[in-house]
Structure 1
């Protein structure tokens, strides 16, 4: 989400995704919804930006450099002696809409909690360095972020007289992972955590993501993923013949004539179009409108309906119709299918650059900590043409990180956090069955004090969003169970 930011999550950012996600919500490769302040401001609710002083490098005592980190406070529900809820920011700007809406505030009202939200370093307005050069991005990591959280918790608690209060961490997607790891690494500072849609196992190659996409499409129409697969295969085959490029340019409303000169060019275009389905599956039937999200009306049923509409022509033609629908939804005049443009944007190190909303930063984290590359390497998924080497090569192209360095970094992440082997207490792991990220999360109880809540039929971070009358019964029950767990734990 972002919590998302519910958010993650997490990919090598095709241009369609760059445009839509940075404007309105998190993407599958950030893991996690971008915070957009428009909605909260338009409703007349403004939460004052506050600033907290952090060290640039928590792990180097000789480095005295500091910077200002943004946070928000909602004291509306706080009752003396109540707990403190800390919403953890992720790979996008912290959206103050979360200070007005969201399930965590319902819990806060019932439990008399003070609510805080801390923006993640290097995202939003929290700029630790003058630019996003690779040299500066070395200060961007989950470990630095967790230490930011620990120092923030310590100082704010002392300043506000909250040292003896019970602190509960909340997060969705990548911030969900941070919520779990915060409790794991700083048990003396955070009493409990709600780690929603949290991928806690890092892996370089993540083909399981697309396997879940297949199953999620099939849950609506068993023929749907087969039609998508046929369309993707057809397009991949046509990309081998330059004589087809004029027609493809027209079919997919490209901004300029298609140019396929390398395997990377082909992979980028194929991934870009697959992303239409990947993003819709990840956020299927969500309730993100409160944070400024666009496109919530585009669901799996809508896409599979188009793919099943024989009046549109062959599956390839229907695939193109899906792309045009998505462009219309996000008010895009045309689709930029150029990897060269993407490379230029992703290597722009300015805070004003086109990928500074989170793309350059998040992909750096995938290259140096997590991997999470949603490749087509599995036979049990519907797309063609963007294998693992295509993703890994971008780490070298963008940050000069080799495949060997990437693999070593991912192994170190699992070694440091324990991956699935979490030894802690009072962490709840909600996940949705439709959400592809559940493949790297906790979906079964580890212990009585490390419960999992697997919500059939819901997508990424669904339990975090505001409730609505047509929510699935199992989603309603999941929210209730989380509250009962928090209530029980806080009484201990």
Structure 2
């Protein structure tokens, strides 16, 4: 049995999920557009019964019903002097928020969590039992979740056409947050002035929201007393090939080299083989009817991206990465049906330049092919393969239900992060095919928004990028986070020592994406949960926020 031991004492058995060797039929694949984490969807669905058992906590109220939502009317356009927002708007929209006052005592701060690039409702667990609850309890504070304009129910315009998305910029959303802090009146606290600067406001965010709150503190220092940037991607990057570096460096033993070798075989055929060789390659994966080589390369790439979804919190952890690496490192044939493909696989390995490793890699390729069929090919039977995997074709629909357009628009205009294989240095084997380049990954920009220029990452990087630094901005990152490569803690960079004014921490124990944000109820706490590195990080955050607030008291 293949056993995958990840950080923080999490023991994951791929076979236990009923996923390995669960499918022997080779069919077609599903249409998941350009989403690189698509394998997670397939494995998450298959593992749903187990996850429901892990998550169940019958005594816990649903945060969506526990916390009513409220709104504040906010200007649509804060910058009438900037031409990119023309035609300007004098209108307003309702910015949604939630708050929790169970820990609040007079004189306490407001702890606001930025909702980032998703519905704010999805952030409510952090108000109930995560980092907002932890900080609010420690400081007698009032906890707030603030939704980002356009996301969730914070509708700015009647539709999501490219013209109407012109107000979806980081600067406009930052100005919303500043306006909110200066104008909100929390229901039940009409006689208490909790606005800034009368009350200290400390902002927290993870990932995009982590960069967001760091910039927020820098642009509006008189409104926000401090900010905690967890996995904050303060550096916007166009070609973000380094996204896969964390998997290369921190995946379970053997997983990354196996991924690199099979990817190299695939690339040697796709980039250097004849059409017969390429057809044989596609056919052995069950994808012989995928016309474009880059679509085939994209169809088989997803498993290694599952690292981002590994989490210490059982309620949100995904088994996708464990499943993938369990397949890639198994010493057994997990899919007996692939034994019939051994001769074709050996031929492919010889043509692909790996004759000397043919015995070991034949097994790896068998399990990789079986894995791709389990997670991708078998999910789309009965449809033409090009229609299943040829990428999104309907770019014209732009009603409010097309929420995929939101972050994609921000990616295309300001943030980048196109995850490629082509950008990997020539002296290093990539984790995904080199056919996956900027031109391919930015297709949506051209087709959906008619954007042909590269994103203006300078709009973000002018605030500091990899060198971001500002008083009372904390930089917290997970050591094995794929997004660490877009933060001030990028591997290879030198960074200053942590201070109370500018705290810094890299969470160890294999921590991934803003692990400090999650929490569990006190009656769920064990010696293993939260894992020690997470407990240490959350205590560290409390330890520097308290002196920040003491400094505020002295100055006010």
Please say whether Structure 1 and Structure 2 have the same fold, judged by a TM-score greater than 0.5.
yes
Q: CA RMSD in A?
A: 3.3
Q: Is the 8 A contact 1:230 1:315 kept in 2?
A: no
> SS of the counterpart of 1:124?
coil
Where in structure 1 are there 5+ consecutive unaligned residues?
1-11, 26-38
Instruction: Give matches, 1:70-469, under 5 Å.
Output: 70-94=96-120, 95=122, 96-156=124-184, 160-163=192-195, 164-217=198-251, 220-221=252-253, 223-236=254-267, 241=275, 248=282, 251=285, 258-261=289-292, 266-278=293-305, 280-287=306-313, 289=315, 293=316, 296-300=318-322, 302-312=323-333, 314-324=363-373, 326=375, 338=387, 342-353=391-402, 356=403, 359-376=404-421, 377-379=423-425, 380=428, 381-384=430-433, 385-402=435-452, 405-406=453-454, 409-415=456-462, 417-443=463-489, 444-445=495-496, 448=499, 449-456=501-508, 457-466=510-519, 469=526
Q: Give the match for residue 486 of structure 1.
A: 545
CA contact (8 A) 1:209 1:439 kept: yes
For structure 1, which segment, 100-109 or 83-92, has the greater mean C-alpha deviation from structure 2 after superposition?
100-109
Partners of 1:310 and 1:110 lie apart in 2 by 49
Out of 175-184 and 460-469, give the one that drifted further.
Answer: 460-469
Select between 439-448 and 13-22 the one with higher mean Cα deviation.
13-22
Change (3 A) 1:258 1:366: same
Conserved? CA contact 1:283–1:435, under 8 Å: no
Decide which structure has the larger Cα Rg and report it: 2
Cross-structure match for 1:32: none
Q: Matches of 1:23 and 1:51 in 2, distance apart? A: 37
Query: Does the residue aligned with 1:138 lie in a helix, a strand or coil?
Result: helix
Structure 1 pair 201/481, CA: closer, same or farther in 2 (3 Å)? same
Distance 1:235 1:286, change over 3 A: farther
When normalised by structure 2's length, the TM-score is 0.72
Kindly tell me the number of residue pairs found equivalent between the two proteins: 443
Map of 2:12 onto structure 1 = none
Unaligned runs of 5+ in 2: 1-31, 46-58, 82-87, 334-361, 490-494, 552-556
> TM-score, normalization: structure 1?
0.80
CA deviations over 1:412-455 (Å, ceiling 9, x no partner): 3212x232343521111110111011111122337732221011
1:186 Cα deviation after fit = 0.5
